[in-house]
Amino acid sequence: MTPDSAVIAPLPIPGSLDSSDPASADFIAAVELLNDALRETWGNDDFRDAPQTQLAGFRPSSMRRRILLGARIGDELVGVAALKLPMLDNIHSAWVNVAVAPGIRRTGLGKRLYAAVEQAAAADGRRTLLGETDHPVRPGSDSGPVLAPKSGIGAIPADSAARFAADRHFELEQVERVSLLDLTGSIDWQGKLDAAAAAAGQDYALEFWQGACPEHLVDAYALLRQRMSTDAPMAGLDVEEERWDAGRIREGEAKVCEMQAEELVSAVRHVPTGQLAGHTVLMVFRSNPAVAFQDDTLVLEEHRGHGLGMLLKAANLVRLRQELSAASRVWTWNAAENVHMLAINEELGFEPVGYSGEWQKVL
């Protein structure tokens, strides 16, 4: 059989990964194909997801649902396409990811998979497709042609991943810098925390939690999560404001637990008003405890100028080393135009290791 004969069809999401579920073998194969693509790109397994983690992510919730398509030649799964569909807000959009096994590339199978997943998005009433391409910085690599975003700043290499997106009529809207922090280094994060706390003054106090947000803070935390969807740099991406409340916070926390992850949150409270002025989140998956991922970081605009970004991030790094000591490195992504947060990251020891392209297509 040849790639032209590959059959593309939806892959059912199994109820469990038990061998008695006939859909489990295909789902595990799809997860491994996605993991292999990330390993090939980044040269490591830091982004590897356990099948159980992916299964939890693919189970539908009130916030989102996912569609998985597979391309099969005979009994072998040789390509997958995933579609993430927001359900509470941004219901006009969908996130797309396509991966093809190395030996089958440049045969047209990726194009067919993408066409199938675009058709599925359109059938669901989605009018904007979003996607991401990864571009590691490789030591000694020759500089070549680059692509600048339609909006935002920065550039990414005009490599095969970027060409695939452009050939599908996606437009590059934003570039994010990918940075990595070595937690085994000699940087004194406690010293940076102490200095930031002194600079912030007595009007601001730190709050911490792991897992569930304290009940008396959950409404204020929901406001921070909602503001994250509007205050973070989005360039020209067609992203609407998200609606957050205590119920959505609790559902998200349950999903993190189901995905077998630990979430560390540091927040800062404005003492005179009791309002939460900012937060930052670190996540560690139990299947890969050496790797932490920096999620949201936000300081509300009305509280900026007091060094709260450094206070929050330094505090969470100190906590990470104390409470999840197996973690040895932290990955983070920042819009290239977010120069203030990039400067904080650099002071904390993060080093640039690549870029991500944020792409958009209006159907």
Q: What is the pLDDT of residue 340?
A: 95
43 and 110 in a single domain? The answer is yes
Which of 102, 277, 295 lies closest to 204 in space, CA to CA?
277
Span of 6-10, 149-153, 349-353 with lowest mean pLDDT: 149-153
210 and 319 in a single domain? The answer is yes
Instruction: Find out whether 181 and 316 touch, Cβ atoms under 8 Å.
Output: no
115 and 246 in a single domain? The answer is no
Tokens of 211: 């897992």
In this structure, how many other beta carbons lie within 10 angstroms of the beta carbon of residue 210? 12
pLDDT band at 202 (very low <50, low <70, confident <90, very high): very high
Q: What is the pLDDT of residue 48?
A: 97
Tens of pLDDT, residue by residue over 282-315, are 999 999 999 999 999 999 999 999 999 999 999 9
Residue 242 has pLDDT above 70, yes or no: yes
111 and 25 in a single domain? The answer is yes
Instruction: Find out whether 69 and 116 touch, Cβ atoms under 8 Å.
Output: yes
Q: Return all residues near 106 (Cβ < 8 A) that are at least 6 apart.
A: none
Tokens of 290: 């050496």
Total of domains in the chain: 2
Q: Return all residues near 230 (Cβ < 8 A) that are at least 6 apart.
A: 241
Residues forming a β-bridge with 293: 283, 331
Mean pLDDT over the full length of the chain: 95
Q: Return all residues near 286 (Cβ < 8 A) that are at least 6 apart.
A: 260, 261, 262
* Boundary of a domain, candidates 112, 142, 177: 177
Q: What is the pLDDT of residue 326?
A: 97
Residue 270: give the domain boundaries. Answer: 181-355
Residue 265 has pLDDT above 60, yes or no: yes
286 and 152 in a single domain? The answer is no
28 and 173 in a single domain? The answer is yes
pLDDT band at 141 (very low <50, low <70, confident <90, very high): low
Tens of pLDDT, residue by residue over 151-196, are 878 999 999 999 999 999 999 999 999 999 999 988 999 999 999 9
332 and 245 in a single domain? The answer is yes
168 and 224 in a single domain? The answer is no
